[in-house]
Structure 1
Amino acid sequence: MQGPSYYVPAAAMAAALAFKVPSLVRAWRDPLMRAVCALLAMAGLVFFFAAPPTIAKVNELTGITNFSAPLVYALLSGFSASCLVLIVNWRGGPAEQTRRVSRRWIAGYSVHMVLLVALFLLGDAPVERLRDLDTYYAKTPYIREMIVLYLMGVTVAGVTMNYLCWRWALQVHGWLRIGLLIIMLGYTFNTLYAGAKFAAVFARWAGGDWDWLSTDLAPILASVGAQVSAVGFCLPLVCQRLADSWHSWGVYRQLGPLWRELNTVAPGHARSARLLWWSSAELSLTRRESDIHDGLLALHPYFDRAEHARAHAAAVAKGSDPERAQAVADAAMLTAAVRARIADPEGKILDSFGTAEPTTAEGPRDLVRISAVLREASVAAAAPGHAALPESEVH
């Protein structure tokens, strides 16, 4: 792998981190958000500083031959710790337990990083190696131990991540399970990366030459593993976001008949408040619900409790369940109120009405039921003898 093979994923991680920074600023106390940003930062740094051109430049700037080795190995340790902390916080649980486990992983890998630097300082690596340091110094005292130690750290992280993800995947379903299985696949590649490195080092110890495993194969495995894992982390979040948006648009459309009916109370209001076409589903739904509540407030003086009671009794008599009967009664009362409001724009006959309100104790779901009743043109049948919308006007 050459420079671009490292810099492209590093740039992708940097872009993702930049996208997350505003959220991090707003939710700095959220441990999950901090863990996500730490993972993106560490992944980007690993790819950037592991690139051969960067290795050469860092060695040149520091004036220390092979200084990049402990730097990259320490960054790999930090990346391993950030992965474990992220999965612990993502899974959740008691806050104190999550913090305790996260601190243990951070503390353990912090010690690991210090040991890597100490072993490098104790060893002697006078010949600069940009791509094959692991095998070139496989028999050098202290450098050898540093190489084994960093590979052990990567292996522990890979095995632990697979274990934690597997346990969690057995307890969940849907996109989260799929995401966890993809993460496991990614960390399997990371473990294979460590295995290839170990095999090359062991071959050197035995007098053989399997350097290609470390120099050519291992970087490819690491790159694939990182990208597959990133997909696993992102997939459940993206799919959940899409599912939430799809649900919000569904509710938005279901509320259409009720929204249009109430718009007759104040013509042009909804059109003037229309959002831009690229507005999020959640914002559009919030605006539609707000318009509906404004319309209900405008109709409040015209709500007739007797109308509501008659419609409710008629719906019950027809065999409707309680929720359905309540929605039919609310819709009948609302329809009558709209008629009264249109017939009395100056409010001259308000004294003849009661002060009932549509029962919306369950929030938007009640509004959806009322909207469905209006769409099905059930109001007229549920309130015989009272003014109802003509069939052509029922939305």
Structure 2
Amino acid sequence: MNGPDYYLPAAATGFALALKVPALVRNWRDPLLRSVTALLALGTSVFFFSAPPTIVRVNRLTGVPNISAPLVYVLLSAFSASCLVLMVNWRGGPAEATRRTSRLWIGGYAAVSLALIALFALGDAPVERLRDLDTYYANTPYIREMIVLYLTGLTVAGVAMAWLCLRWSLQVRGLLRAGLICIATGYLFNLAYATAKFTAVFACWSGRTDLDGLSTDTAPLLASVAAGFTAVGFCLPLAFQRLTDRLEIWSTYRRLGPLWHELRGLGPHGGHTPRLVWWPSAELLVIQRESDIHDGMLCLYPYFDGRVRAGAYAAAVRDGSGPDQAHAVADAVMVTAAVRARAADPEGNALDRDAAAPPAALSGEGPRDLVRMSLALRHSPVVAAARTADRPSAD
């Protein structure tokens, strides 16, 4: 495998990391989010520093042959620690116990990392090996132990992570389950990577060199496949969750349309709400539409008639509506009647007469209530019947 074979999976995990960074900035205190971000950052670093061109550059810059080996192994150990910390946070439980266990795993792999550095310093690896260091130095004192130590740490983390994701996938559905299965598959490939490396090293111990290809060719390929599955597993739920959120926001904007059209022109801006930015987001458009609706209702308060609302509520109940829907229908009928009453009172006599009286309150307390009311305006037969009835007087 050449440089691009390493840089491509590094780019894939880096892309997943980029998707996670905004959420981390917003919720940096979330230990689970920090664990996922650390996992992706370390995965990106491992592939980048494992690429032969990067190995050559690091060795040349430091002047130490094979110094990239302990660097990559330490990154792999940190990657393993991040897997286990992620497992602890996903498992949940008391916050203090979770923090304590996370610190133990981090401390354990920090000790492994120090041991890797010490073993490399004690060993003798003068010949630079870009792709086959594990098998070339498989019988070299201290370097041999360094190789076994990093592979053992990677194996422990791979087993734990695959088990966690598979167990978690049995408890959830949808895209989250698909993502977890992808992540578990990725870690199973990581275990296959460690197995290929161990097999090649064990073969060298027995005097065989015909299995070196498992370490130099097969293992890096397995690692690339693992990175692809892992990146997809992290990106899939996040990307589709964002798409779902976008669709839900636009759906809310569209469903508020009937109520907004009913009340537009009543507020202080006469239905022409000034845009706060040149290219408003979907959230801002929904907020503006809700603001227009509330402004229109403020203008209608003196014309709201509780008797009209009570009659509409009773009619909606007789029509088979549940309590929430019946309240929405009643509010919609009262708003419709108030719009007509205001149109029949161009001089604003009701404003002078009812200025001291508190206005009747709608049942709606949030966007969902406004959406129910808006949908009732379009679909409720009770509202349709009220529209064709005689205009109520404003008293």
| TM beyond 0.5 | yes
Displacement, 1:256?
Answer: 1.1
**Aligned equivalent of 2:383, options 365, 379, 385:** 379
Within-5 A mapping of 1:278-317: 279-317=280-318
Instruction: Return the alpha-carbon distance in structure 1 between the equivalents of residues 257 and 21 of structure 2.
Output: 37
**Residue 273 of structure 2 contacts residue 292 of structure 2 at CA under 8 Å; is this kept in 1?**
no
Report 1:117-128 matches (<5 A).
117-128=117-128
1:393 paired residue number: none
Quote the residue 2:240 is aligned against.
239
Q: Which amino acid aligns with 2:361?
A: E
Alpha-carbon shift at residue 295 of structure 1 (Å): 2.2
Structure 1 pair 36–280 and aligned structure 2 pair: CA distance change class (3 A): farther
Instruction: Give how far 1:205 is off.
Output: 1.0
Q: Which has the higher contact order (CA 8 A, sep 6+)?
A: 2
Q: Distance in 2 between matches of 1:311 and 1:347?
A: 25
Q: Percent identity?
A: 64
- 1:33 to partner: Cα distance: 3.3
Task: Spell out, residue by residue over 1:102-145, the C-alpha distance to the aligned partner (whole angstroms, 9 max, x if none).
Answer: 22221121111111111111211121111100000111111111
Counterparts of residues 133-282 of structure 1 (less than 5 Å) = 133-209=133-209, 210-266=211-267, 269-273=270-274, 279-282=280-283
Contact 2:304 2:360 (8 Å CA) reproduced: yes
Segments of 5+ residues of structure 2 without an aligned counterpart are: none
Alignment-derived partner of residue 373 in structure 2:
370
Q: How does 1:101-112 map to 2 (within 5 A)?
A: 101-112=101-112
Alpha-carbon distance in 2 for matches of 1:13, 1:173: 24
Does the C-alpha gap of structure 1 residues 95 and 281 become closer, same or farther in structure 2, counting only changes over 3 Å?
farther
Give the drift of 1:321: 2.9
Question: How far is 1:91 from its partner?
Answer: 5.4
Q: Please tell me whether the aligned partners of residues 13 and 228 of structure 2 are also in contact (alpha carbons under 8 angstroms).
A: no
CA distance in 2: counterparts of 1:77 and 1:345, whole angstroms = 77
Contact 1:13/1:43 (<8 A) preserved: yes
Give per-residue Cα distances to partners, 1:59-79, cap 9 Å, x unaligned: 222222211111100001111
Consecutive unaligned residues of structure 1, counting only runs of 5 or more, are 389-395
SS of 1:28 mapped into structure 2 = coil
Q: Distance in 2 between matches of 1:96 and 1:301?
A: 56
- The residue type paired with residue 378 of structure 1 is V
1:15-94 equivalences in 2 (<5 Å): 17=17, 20-21=20-21, 23-90=23-90, 92-94=92-94
Residues 87 and 160 of structure 2 are in contact (CA less than 8 Å); yes or no, is this contact kept in structure 1? no
- Partners in 2 of 1:260 and 1:61 — Cα distance? 68
DSSP-derived class of the 1:378 partner: helix
Distance in 2, Cα, partners of 1:205 & 1:319: 80
Q: Contact 2:16 / 2:234 at 8 angstroms: preserved in 1? A: no
Alignment partners' CA distance in 2, 1:344 and 1:87? 67
Q: How many residues align?
A: 387
**Distance in 1 between the 2:215 and 2:75 partners?**
18
User: Is the 2:12–2:227 contact (alpha carbons within 8 Å) kept by the matching residues of 1?
Assistant: no
Q: TM-score, normalised by structure 2?
A: 0.89
